[in-house]
Chain A
């Protein structure tokens, strides 16, 4: 089955530690995205990438970093510089170019709790 796999599902870390969230897709989509979800705030875009080896900051990129070395993979690192990292993180993908409507395909999410 084609889809997006995020891991881990739940993650606990101590304050000051960097953590990396994995996102892999086998939909052959060119674009991948990371969103942060907090209660009552909807989804906020952290980073996105439309092609391998290129990515752009979203609305709340501070304290986060990404890489896009392969089309299928878009890992997100939550650094110690992120002031309030406890949240639910969602990875998504979409096609690019002709036929792209903005429809996003989501993974199951990763819940990060910083103790």
Chain B
């Protein structure tokens, strides 16, 4: 069975500082990996995804993530955050498109 662990439930950071949101997964087979963002009282929208190929994936809003197979990690990074990045971020995995599993989420607070 697959599982996803988001290592930080909350991450406070000052505006214009870099941020990393950590995600580890467990799976005995190859997986597809995703990061979604959720703004308050809204649905989730896709930030980026890793399917195959280059391990560094670029997404919307200046975010990027690196797939590390040996570490079974898929950490999300942004070099300089804005107040508008305050949201909850979810890491997710799926095995060939079957049953997507979500982590518990990381709340990113960007302070002025």
Contact = CB atoms under 8 A, between A and B. Distances in A.
Interface of A: 4, 6, 40-43, 45, 88, 90, 92, 94, 100-104, 106-109, 111
Given A42-B103, A43-B102, A101 B94 contact: yes
Contacts of B9: 40
Interface in B56-112: 90, 92-100, 102-105
Contacts, number: 57
A102 to B, nearest CB: 3
Contacts of A4: 43
B32 A111 contact: no
B104 A100 contact: no
B7 interface: no
Given A40-B9, A43-B90, A104 B44 contact: yes
B27 interface: no
